[in-house]
């Protein structure tokens, strides 16, 4: 069974940092691109970042470029999102998603990690 389990969420002050992790199991992690998608309270889904199978290619939405870093450790089957210089508008539930390398559909999702940016 495919499982994606996020951790690392919490309450953080504006301007501070937080690192999310996503532990994957039930599939060959290194064969899939991976993504982070967020959902602000009562709002819709918003793609944040993606990373290729080997980690050599990363992609970000404009609003997080230069502040967020997506990375992966294929030996540990774990995806990461380092979030720096956090802003109140980054408050959201962050989902880890498995992404088909060919068509970029997100075919498996974690349960989400809640991030609240507030003083």
Interface contacts to other proteins, rule CB under 8 A: 37, 44-47, 50, 59, 61, 95, 100, 103-112
Residues in the chain: 119
Residue placing its CB nearer to other proteins in the complex, 16 or 65:
65
Cα Rg of the chain (Å, integer): 13
Beta strand segments in 16-75, E? 18-25, 33-39, 45-51, 58-60, 68-73
Residue placing its CB nearer to other proteins in the complex, 46 or 84:
46
Work out how close the CB of 52 gets to other proteins at its nearest, in angstroms, rounded to a whole number. 14
Work out how close the CB of 69 gets to other proteins at its nearest, in angstroms, rounded to a whole number. 17
Residue placing its CB nearer to other proteins in the complex, 14 or 66:
66
Rounded Cα distance between 22 and 18, Å, is: 14
Work out how close the CB of 13 gets to other proteins at its nearest, in angstroms, rounded to a whole number. 27
CA of 55: how far to CAs of 11, 13, 26, 94, in Å?
28, 29, 20, 20
Work out how close the CB of 46 gets to other proteins at its nearest, in angstroms, rounded to a whole number. 7
């Amino acid at each position: 069974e495919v499982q994606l389990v996020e951790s690392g969420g919490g309450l953080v002050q504006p301007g501070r940092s937080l690192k999310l992790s996503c532990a994957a199991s039930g599939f060959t992690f290194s064969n899939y691109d991976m993504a982070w998608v967020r959902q602000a309270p009562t709002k819709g889904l918003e793609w944040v970042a993606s990373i290729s199978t080997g980690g050599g290619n990363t992609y970000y939405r404009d609003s997080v470029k230069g502040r967020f870093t997506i990375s992966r450790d294929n030996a540990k089957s774990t995806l990461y999102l380092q979030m720096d210089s956090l802003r109140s508008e980054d408050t959201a539930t962050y989902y880890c998603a498995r992404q088909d390398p060919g068509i970029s559909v997100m075919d498996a999702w974690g349960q989400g990690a809640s991030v609240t940016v507030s003083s």
